[in-house]
Amino acid sequence: MATAAFTHHAQIRWGDIDQLGHMNNVVFIDLLQQARALWWQSTPAATDLLGPTDGPDGPVGTVVAELQVEWKRPIFLGQQVEVRLGTTQVGAARFTIWYEIIADKEVACLARSLMAVVALRTGRILRIPAGVGDYLRSVSGEPDALRPLARADGPEPDDPERMHRFEVESRWSDVDAYGHINNAQYFELFQEARIGFIDEVDALRDMVVVVARSDLRYREQAPFRSEPYTICSAVTRVGSSSFDMRAILLRDKDDQASVLAEQWVTLVRIDAEGRPKPLSVDESAALMGA
């Protein structure tokens, strides 16, 4: 276990709990972000990372370029939860933060976020300020590895027979201090699309699944707007009790090249006790045909 640069004792809210009786997977992402922001806010050498700050090209901020998450066990209301974090792989312009979410002294989640300092108006990646880079390297370590997740290409948005299309509106509350949809909210948008996909397939409606693994790559900023965004999803692998999906968030529903973000996710079918449950023949067939 790597030495943490910062530990946050998180408060779990009643509203964080979903219909399965445990903390929703999206809330884990919010806790990662909360700990990261508090770390930077309380550390003089890293305060400028919180942003936005003024730069020659306008406002500068630190954004998430990729986020990898592995959920290991559920978190319930009333548990003592802490988020530990540090850095690894600090380069000239990008750096990686590792995270552990601990619930009642057991690891509930592992995560990695690839961070970049950017000019918010242009999206241009900037060098990490020297003093900040020195500090980030001083707290670098080697954390536990995440379980691998295959990033299958899968069907493309112009294949209507294989891609499920779902429209989701942005909310004013989705937008952060940088003026774009917050990175944690992407997980909620993709979650809405997955639920929409499952709800449209008769054989899957009674299936209860949890998210076990996710890789999310952010490509462009997404602003608040009146027009809904389009998410295209497809099943890329079907196992005995789990399956993988790929989803893309489009800026323009008619332009398959306008990808704002891309997610790969592993979902596990569970029973009433939360244990993996084999997919039925009908469920497997429906997923393979989706």
Domain CATH for 100? 3.10.129.10
Shared domain for 107 and 158, answered yes or no, is no
Shared domain for 79 and 23, answered yes or no, is yes
Q: How far apart, in whole angstroms, are the C-alpha atoms of residue 59 and residue 97?
A: 23
Residues spanned by the domain of 166: 148-290
Shared domain for 199 and 288, answered yes or no, is yes
Q: Please spell the DSSP secondary structure of the chain, one letter per residue.
A: -PPPSEEEEEPPPGGGB-TTSSB-HHHHHHHHHHHHHHHHHH-GGGGGGTS-EEETTEEEEEEEEEEEEEE-S---TT--EEEEEEEE---SSEEEEEEEEEETTEEEEEEEEEEEEEETTT--EEPPPHHHHHHHHHTB---PPPPP--------TT-TTT-EEEEE---GGGB-TTSSB-HHHHHHHHHHHHHHHHHHSGGGTT--EEEEEEEEEE-S-----SSPEEEEEEEEEE-SSEEEEEEEEESSTT-TT-EEEEEEEEEEEB-TTS-B-PPPHHHHHHHHH-
pLDDT over 70, % of the chain: 96
Q: Which of 91, 117, 147 is the last residue of a domain?
A: 147
Average pLDDT of the residues in 232-240:
95
Shared domain for 102 and 31, answered yes or no, is yes
Query: Please, which pLDDT band fits residue 217 given cuts at 50, 70 and 90?
Result: very high
Note the pLDDT of residue 52. Answer: 83
**Domains: count for the chain:** 2
Note the pLDDT of residue 159. Answer: 63
Note the pLDDT of residue 58. Answer: 86
The answer to whether 123 touches 221, Cβ cutoff 8 Å, is yes
**pLDDT (tens digit per residue) in 123-157:** 899 999 999 999 999 999 999 999 999 888 766 65
Note the pLDDT of residue 271. Answer: 94
The answer to whether 83 touches 32, Cβ cutoff 8 Å, is yes
Shared domain for 135 and 159, answered yes or no, is no
Q: Which of 147, 166, 190 is the last residue of a domain?
A: 147
The answer to whether 180 touches 222, Cβ cutoff 8 Å, is yes
Q: How far apart, in whole angstroms, are the C-alpha atoms of residue 229 and residue 85?
A: 33
Shared domain for 141 and 104, answered yes or no, is yes
Shared domain for 166 and 122, answered yes or no, is no
- What predicted TM-score, i.e. pTM, was given to this entire model? 0.94
Cα separations in angstroms, 125 against 53, 61, 65, 165: 14, 10, 11, 32
Shared domain for 244 and 142, answered yes or no, is no
Shared domain for 170 and 233, answered yes or no, is yes
Q: Which of 118, 147, 176 is the last residue of a domain?
A: 147
∠ CA 228-165-286 to the nearest 5 degrees?
150
Does residue 20 have a pLDDT over 90? yes
Shared domain for 176 and 245, answered yes or no, is yes
**pLDDT (tens digit per residue) in 69-79:** 999 999 999 99
Shared domain for 114 and 206, answered yes or no, is no
Structure-token pair, residue 129: 């300020």
The answer to whether 281 touches 235, Cβ cutoff 8 Å, is no
Shared domain for 134 and 230, answered yes or no, is no
